[in-house]
């Protein structure tokens, strides 16, 4: 027992006497992990720290102390609970202009705690007659992100309320979800696109507090002030919003297409999750739009066709459109319910031929259509491919279409592991030989010939793979 007392005496001797050092560890981030009794004890020690620092150093000591503790905001909260000193007059308006991050957190903690304790009566009762607009905006930015704060921004700042929205501390969980539309429009106005997107996502995710039509309007408005998503989370929110709108039958198709188009680069970055479905179907149903996309990528084959240099598409647009066509998997003729209309396909193809021939882009246009036709469903009569498509692929002058189709079939295999036995490639070759025989029996000889060439390629690849993986002969 004497040894314990001796250790206590030593501890008392070596502990710092300066309150700026003695109480520093009382302002950490441990509060959430303490029980109620420990929290009360900690708060009492914090108040003692503030009292000792004020007596010895005054307000300058508090500010110096804020620079050294883990939680300056916690220090601000304690100032709010200390009634002996009039901290409101000491902090306002002078320290509302201070950009030191530790001081800002201290002031934020004080304001938030005062408002939580005394509600908006305390806020409205402050004498703000000598405050500048900047000081008022900074004060408001420390208050909850809610309708009550926004009303005061209107009242205190008038037409200059943008000063508040430029610096408002953003937290969608503090606002009523039905009030977020106002915040979204103000955030868009001051070009805080990331925050606006998060607000839209929160409002739309909360039992559709934001109507689909308004969601479309706001997404288009944000797009005017955003060059590219500034974070992965922002891009995720945009993708989820568009996916939700795609699944909403009340959404107007043309409006949704506008939204998909302005966010197309983002959607194509993760197309397996956020595919631009309306754009895909527009490519497959609107010949004018499809041909316009082809003209963005390819030069005209007409000798006399001279493009307007002022209308040359940007490199980023060309890259985006190339990616769009590369991943396009909706064949012309497919209807949104998944069925296939052969007449619609034939009319689409005929119009594309007409338009692309005039501009000198027919070969490129037909090749891309051929690629996507690899996704054509079977014919109702039993043939493995819809006969309206087989008819077109079998025409004498349809070589670009057939070439594109074979490329599409080859690419449809996707990424795959090499089978050293060549069995996989051999099976694929057999599949396409059987399909070619079925085409022959239906009279599609040209189409069947192209398919046999693909089968032969797989057989050749199978033999080459087996040869490449033969065990080495012993020395």
End-of-domain residue from the set 250, 275, 300: 275
| Range(s) of the domain holding residue 37 | 8-126
For range 99-108, the mean pLDDT? 96
Does residue 310 form part of some domain? no
41, 74, 98, 107, 110 from 77: Cα distances, Å: 15, 5, 18, 9, 5
- Domain assignment present for residue 406? The answer is no
Q: How far apart are CA 27 and CA 65, in angstroms?
A: 10
112 and 181 both lie in a single domain: no
Q: What is the pLDDT of residue 155?
A: 97
User: Which whole number is the average pLDDT over 403-431?
Assistant: 89
Count of the separate structural domains present in the chain: 2
Contact (CB, 8 A) for 96 and 131: yes
Cβ distance 356 to 286 under 8 Å? no
Query: Which region, left, alpha or beta, applies to residue 119 given φ > 0 means left and ψ of -120 to 50 means alpha?
Result: left
Percent of the chain with pLDDT over 90: 74
Q: In terms of domains, do 197 and 269 share one? A: yes
Q: Does residue 115 sit in the same domain as residue 33?
A: yes
Instruction: Give every CB contact of residue 201 below 8 A, 6+ residues apart in sequence.
Output: 237, 240, 241
Does one domain contain both 187 and 249?
yes
Which pLDDT band holds residue 277 (cuts at 50, 70, 90)? Answer: very high
Nearest to 155 by CA among 178, 128, 179: 128
pLDDT at 3 over 60: no
Q: Is 232 within the bounds of a domain?
A: yes
CA distance 332 to 342: 9
Assigned domain for 99 exists:
yes
Alpha-carbon distances of 13 from 6, 8, 23, 56, 436, rounded to whole Å: 11, 9, 16, 21, 96
Looking at the fold, whether 191 and 94 belong to one and the same domain comes out as no
Mean pLDDT of the chain: 90
Q: What's the CA gap between 381 and 389, in Å, rounded? A: 14
Supply the DSSP symbol for 334. B
Closest by CA position to 137, among listed 155, 121, 120 = 155
On whether residue 214 sits in a domain, the answer given is yes
Rounded to two decimals, what is the model's pTM?
0.82
For residue 236, tell me if it sits in a domain: yes
The owner of tokens 């039509």 is: 213
Tell me: the pLDDT tens digits for 299-308? 999 866 555 5
CA distance 472 to 470: 6
73, with CB counted inside 10 A (0-12, 13-18, 19+), is buried
Note whether residue 343 is domain-resident: no
Mean pLDDT lowest among 12-16, 190-194, 430-434 = 12-16
Residue 20 sits in the same domain as residue 108:
yes
């Amino acid at each position: 027992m004497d040894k314990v007392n001796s250790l206590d005496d030593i501890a008392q001797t070596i502990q710092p006497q300066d309150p700026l050092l003695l109480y520093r560890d009382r302002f950490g981030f441990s509060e959430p992990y303490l029980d109620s009794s420990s929290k009360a004890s900690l708060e009492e020690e914090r108040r003692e720290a503030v009292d000792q620092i004020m007596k010895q150093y005054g307000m300058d000591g508090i500010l110096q102390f804020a620079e050294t503790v883990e939680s300056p905001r916690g220090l601000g909260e304690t100032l709010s609970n200390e009634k002996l000193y009039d901290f409101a007059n000491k902090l306002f308006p002078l320290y509302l202009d201070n950009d030191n991050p530790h001081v800002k957190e201290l002031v934020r903690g004080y304001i938030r705690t005062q408002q939580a304790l005394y509600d908006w009566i305390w806020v409205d009762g402050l004498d703000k007659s000598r405050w500048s607009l900047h000081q008022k905006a900074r004060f408001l930015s420390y208050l909850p992100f809610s309708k009550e704060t926004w009303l005061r921004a209107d009242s205190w700042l008038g037409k200059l309320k943008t000063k508040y929205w430029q610096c408002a501390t953003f937290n969608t969980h503090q606002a009523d979800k039905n009030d977020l539309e106002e915040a979204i429009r103000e955030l868009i106005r001051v070009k805080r696109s990331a925050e606006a997107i998060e607000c839209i996502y929160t409002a739309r995710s909360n039992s559709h507090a934001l109507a689909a039509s308004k969601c479309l309007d706001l997404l288009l408005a944000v797009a005017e002030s955003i060059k590219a998503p500034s974070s992965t989370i922002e891009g995720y929110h945009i993708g989820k919003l568009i996916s939700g709108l795609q699944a909403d039958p009340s959404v107007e198709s043309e409006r949704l297409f506008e939204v998909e188009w302005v966010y197309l680069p983002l959607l194509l970055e993760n197309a397996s999750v956020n595919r631009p479905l309306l754009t895909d179907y527009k490519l497959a149903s609107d010949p004018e739009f499809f041909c316009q996309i082809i003209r963005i990528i390819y030069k005209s084959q007409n000798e006399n066709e001279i493009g307007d240099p002022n209308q040359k598409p940007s490199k980023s647009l060309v890259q985006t459109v190339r990616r769009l066509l590369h991943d396009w998997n909706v064949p012309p003729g497919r209807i949104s319910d998944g069925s296939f209309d052969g007449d619609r396909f034939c009319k689409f193809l005929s119009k594309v031929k007409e338009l692309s021939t005039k501009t000198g882009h027919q070969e490129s246009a037909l090749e891309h259509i051929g690629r996507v036709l690899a996704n054509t469903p079977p014919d109702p009569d039993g043939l493995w491919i819809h006969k309206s498509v087989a008819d077109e692929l079998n025409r004498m002058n349809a070589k670009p279409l057939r070439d594109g189709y074979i490329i599409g079939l080859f690419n449809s295999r996707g990424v795959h592991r090499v089978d050293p036995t060549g069995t996989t490639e051999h099976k694929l070759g057999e599949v396409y030989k059987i399909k070619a025989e079925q085409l022959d029996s239906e009279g599609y000889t040209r189409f069947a010939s192209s398919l046999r060439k693909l089968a032969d390629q797989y057989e050749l690849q199978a033999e080459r793979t087996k040869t490449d993986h033969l065990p080495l002969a012993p020395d």
